[in-house]
Structure 1
């Protein structure tokens, strides 16, 4: 009997050791620019499911966290450690382009499942862009040939409400996987006393949060807007106040004790006021359970918003724009763009002089069958290349990089040679 007990104890120890979060790949958050056919980006870690983009310009971005530090409060270490990666595609043709930490790394051949080596001493983020809008069934990580377990934010159906909201910055943005979009309270004051509530379909044990405080899209925006410095959390029976650092990046905060329930209220107690606007902002939240569990909230209001955009643009000139990837050739480069039904957009310009990416949100102002007006606002990232003494054998090339916040109003009409033209004060596109 002692041998049996010892054997079972050893098996239990080995199982716990082998499945330890410290040795797994921890997904901090995952986002897709778009998702088609009711799919979700988290499906790439679920057997028998897949993710598919709405357009061929959209991919998945996966952000990592250091599993060895999962139980340490404070600033999060956004790195995972693995040496190989494999991708399985929905359709066994084409390829998936892999970008690692902002740079192109390699292509994965969709006709076969192969493990490719990844050179890194810690990966912060990967971006996967399928060819021709193909879907992705699985993403797997390996260390020296051994497949690693993956810990990711488990999706829970629910609803995120707020006591006030600035237009175009809804509360469900707290759980969209992107720190570029945010919840902004809509009170006339600095937001002290405002709340957001999480109402879940299933009960969870909540032991802490990871929070991206303030507006994280740009450093200048972080300081222009307010951020939270004290946040009260309650499940209706227990409540306590959390100190939140006024810093960019993720931070992990554990509660004094684990609380359980379906409904949780977070109340802003103190803020650091913005030096330009009185709005207080929270970009993203991940719910933390016991033993390293992570949760995110799937709010159907996000899907309803997409449906409302498609309904409002149906039968208008925008029906040939929304969720349609446009690839445009220019004499010395390319101009590609997509306007998505989730209210986001991106415009890529790449020529011999300038590489430019504009991304952010768009809002419908007016639309009919022949003309539409939309407002766009977001980030304008530009790299300008200048050649000095181009005709000289001693010529030099310099690059100047800048990122600014911008807004514009575009008038959309049919182009004279087919397609659409989008004309504003800062953006002019004709395709």
Structure 2
């Protein structure tokens, strides 16, 4: 068995970057490890099983926040990769395919003057590599007694153990629930068992780091070695005659690189082995909260920037490709960061203004008249001055003009249940997103009137920033209908005041109240008020700004042909998950959300 596994390793290679980012000054690196992951691979080209569609979801930035109630960080999502495959058996026979799934990690270890190992690396202020990764490489819990010769003896060695033994080791090393845990593989609704685990270790002296150590004569460390560990999770896939098979692989990732002025993340995904299956991948969709760079590829990826879905400062991206045949040495590199913010930005108007692909806006009714809204002065403190105010009406078009301070207000007696607005999308899009209710002025909702200001100012008459929002009804549910949709969609709104500034993000997603935006084909749509949050003074129901994220033409084509929702269902779930996570974070802040 061991010889067979060695032969398998000849057919698999993993792209690695061994960058010593830990040498940086001003905070350095939190973790010196480099992580790389890979597609399910077979040892030789398979001419029976075709990989026709693949969805890859890579999320490096977990949605989390500090919970004042519990006094700790509350995590709403995981850092993980989820790959979904649509296979087809092109023969009339049962086919069993031996496969493996690889994880690669590099870390560093120091050699002291007595040839002992240490996971403390003495650079600048010093940093620790992960001891448990060294334990996995050596197959030993206590690394303090390991000498240099024993470390070098494992170079280019493959250790194979059963999945049960591997889990026992992880438990011993304290990594049972870690990123080294075997991936979860589900084929046609049933879990695929990991049979054996191959651990291949390569050890190489890091000359640059070792030379750096020599500058410190007081150091008891004399050499630095880089350890590369390749973990292969071996399993078998079974395919019924002439049948399709849906496979999903999910696993936790670790890609945190640094902590100076914002965390940085980087991970590599080896896509090359996707080319070992029969034929080309007809449709490939990649959704990620990172920027993806493809290396050594002849494929043409089309990108959609889903900039409204960011919870941590990095935009989501949708990459698509058709008739995609990954080739040798091809890999994806994902980078992301949580930025260090130097002050706030102004978000009261979209940078692109109104969205020109939204046409034919009309409504069943609208409130007649005009009112004053915040101005567009470059100085924040001038926006609410009477001299800088603008005049707006209540027509449906005001909910699509890119200005946060106005919006559609229905014009019938009562709460406006059954009233509607219509619009035409000339581009397939994700949405709708919307702020809820009617706000007129710049600032935080509870910010009081400035008593030193002119008592005759319009803002002073409104008592406080959110007075108009509180006084009118807001939307609770709207029904979205169109001939372009199979079924009507009930859009659920949260009763969230559309703050401009907040302590989580400066992106427009921070004012979105729609909990369940969806993928929308081109077409004409109607939004009908089904229920409302009651205002404390008037019966008029107000809808704030409405916006969409257009998707690329190739993504539109792939989603239109997705009759079984292989792509659209999981992509929609991911979008809605993060939108709801963001809403939970904002609502959890409560009164602390305001100064």
TM-score bin, normalised by smaller chain = 0.3 to 0.5
TM-score normalized by structure 1? 0.35
- Bigger fraction of residues in strand: 1
Q: Which structure has more RCO (C-alpha within 8 Å, separation ≥ 6)?
A: 2
TM-score normalized by structure 2? 0.26
